[in-house]
């Protein structure tokens, strides 16, 4: 069967069906999904009872896998494969984590608007998040379209940000939330990455405003002025008309393009189990070719 798409938002996001993503994808199916991602940036797949290996295999169809902050945090993992990123409030022993645990610190950082791995080069291209256990309330995920954000900028702002670059740092969100007990070696594990504020998406050819909470300064600007301007741009990018809110169902898999969207998790009762697992691919030249 071929890919079917049902738009879920006026400017981006579609529900995808017609392809069994628990099975190996054909080259034609990969091209169809890439084309849909170029247009919609976020795809929602319902009722996908994926095993961990099936999720890894699906992600690998689009490029090499990215481990992100696992390069910094060498912790005991509860999942069977380190390429699966455990987005949960469950500790390595399988228990709901303490409120003040490193696990929940990561969850709180995920509630800030960001794109995965923007703090490294290569950054992330696609992420795929699969829902297994959901709390009784909250825990939705919101997505913002950075292409629509650029399109709606005033002309004066477009001219002002053209040619400006921002530095993104891996531990910026953790330090922002009060966790600054990092060694020099940890801080050096992922050197800061510098990205233009205005970019052209390699698949769609559309311009976008590349901001997010990992960005900690504008190159060549005073720190305070740069951070305030980045905050203003982030506020513009995440206006309600640019945002889709996903209400999770068990076995949903949501796939998004980190090069053209931001996302954040929303609050829930962290004493209730919430288990999702993420796979992410790197934005490398071969992935560009596949996404063209």
DSSP-derived pairing of the beta strands 14-17 and 42-45? parallel
The pLDDT of residue 157 is: 98
| Mean pLDDT across 258-283 | 97
pLDDT band of 257, cuts 50, 70, 90: very high
CATH value at residue 79: 3.60.130.10
Among the listed ranges 79-88, 107-116, 147-156, which one has the minimum average pLDDT value?
Answer: 79-88
| Mean pLDDT across 220-247 | 98
Tens digit of pLDDT for each residue in 216-228? Answer: 999 999 999 999 9
Q: 41-58 in b/e burial notation, b at 16+ Cβ within 10 A?
A: bbbbbeebebebebbbbb
Task: Using the predicted structure, report yes or no on whether residue 92 has a pLDDT greater than 90.
Answer: no
Bridge partners, residue 129, by sequence: 254, 278
pLDDT band of 183, cuts 50, 70, 90: confident
**Residue 90 phi, psi (nearest 5):** -115, 130
pLDDT band of 149, cuts 50, 70, 90: very high
3-state helix, strand, coil in the chain (%, to 5): 30, 25, 45
| Mean pLDDT across 16-43 | 97
Tens digit of pLDDT for each residue in 268-277? Answer: 999 999 999 9
The pLDDT of residue 29 is: 97
Among the listed ranges 52-66, 170-184, 239-253, which one has the minimum average pLDDT value?
Answer: 170-184
**Residue 135 phi, psi (nearest 5):** -75, 170
| Mean pLDDT across 22-41 | 97
The answer to whether 116 and 264 are in contact (CB under 8 A) is: no
The pLDDT of residue 73 is: 59
pLDDT band of 103, cuts 50, 70, 90: confident
25-29: long-range contacts at Cβ-Cβ below 8 A with a sequence spacing of 24 or more?
A: 25/58, 25/61, 29/3
Rg (CA), the chain: 18
The pLDDT of residue 76 is: 65
The pLDDT of residue 288 is: 45
| Mean pLDDT across 207-232 | 98
The answer to whether 141 and 129 are in contact (CB under 8 A) is: yes
* DSSP string for residues in 47-83: S----HHHHHHHHHTSS-B--GGGGT------SS-TT
Domains identified in the chain, total number: 1
**Residue 30 phi, psi (nearest 5):** -60, -45
Q: How many C-beta atoms surround the C-beta of residue 271 within 10 A?
A: 10
| Mean pLDDT across 18-27 | 96
* DSSP string for residues in 93-162: TSSBPPTTSHHHHHHHHTTS-B-TTTTSSS-EEEEEEEEEE--SSB--EEEEEHHHHHHTS-HHHHHHHT
The pLDDT of residue 145 is: 98
Q: Taking all residues of the chain, what is their mean pLDDT, rounded to a whole number? A: 92
The domain of 50 spans: 4-291
The pLDDT of residue 74 is: 63
Order of strands across the sheet that contains 193-196: 193-196, 165-168, 215-218
Beta strands in 134-257 (DSSP E): 141-145, 165-168, 193-196, 198-200, 207-209, 215-218, 243-246, 253-257
Q: pTM here?
A: 0.93
How many Å apart are CA 116 and CA 202, to the nearest integer?
Answer: 17
pLDDT band of 242, cuts 50, 70, 90: very high
């Amino acid at each position: 069967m071929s890919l079917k798409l049902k738009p879920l938002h006026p400017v981006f996001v579609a529900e995808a069906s017609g392809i069994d993503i628990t099975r190996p994808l054909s080259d034609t199916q990969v091209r169809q999904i890439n084309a849909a991602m170029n247009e919609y940036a976020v795809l929602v797949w319902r009722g996908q009872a994926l095993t961990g290996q099936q999720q890894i295999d699906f992600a690998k169809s689009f490029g090499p896998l990215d481990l992100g902050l696992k390069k910094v945090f060498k912790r005991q993992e509860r999942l069977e494969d380190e390429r699966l990123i455990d987005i949960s409030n469950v500790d390595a022993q399988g228990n709901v984590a303490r409120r003040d645990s490193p696990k929940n610190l990561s969850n709180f950082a995920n509630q800030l608007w960001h794109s995965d791995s923007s703090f490294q080069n290569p950054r992330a291209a696609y992420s795929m998040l699969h829902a297994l256990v959901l709390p009784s309330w909250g825990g939705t995920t919101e997505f913002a379209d950075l292409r629509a954000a650029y399109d709606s900028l005033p002309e004066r702002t477009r001219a002002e940000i053209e040619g400006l670059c921002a530095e993104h740092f891996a531990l910026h969100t953790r330090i922002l939330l009060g966790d600054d007990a990092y060694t020099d070696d940890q801080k050096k594990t992922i050197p800061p990455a510098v990205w233009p504020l205005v970019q052209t998406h390699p698949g769609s050819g559309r311009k976008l405003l590349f901001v997010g909470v990992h960005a900690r300064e504008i190159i060549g600007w005073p720190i305070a002025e740069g951070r305030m301007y980045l905050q203003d741009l982030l506020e513009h990018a995440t206006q309600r008309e640019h945002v889709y809110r996903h209400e999770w169902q068990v076995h949903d898999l949501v796939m998004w393009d980190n090069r053209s969207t931001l996302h954040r998790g929303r609050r829930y009762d962290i004493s209730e189990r919430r288990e999702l697992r993420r796979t992410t691919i790197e934005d490398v030249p071969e992935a560009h070719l596949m996404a063209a």
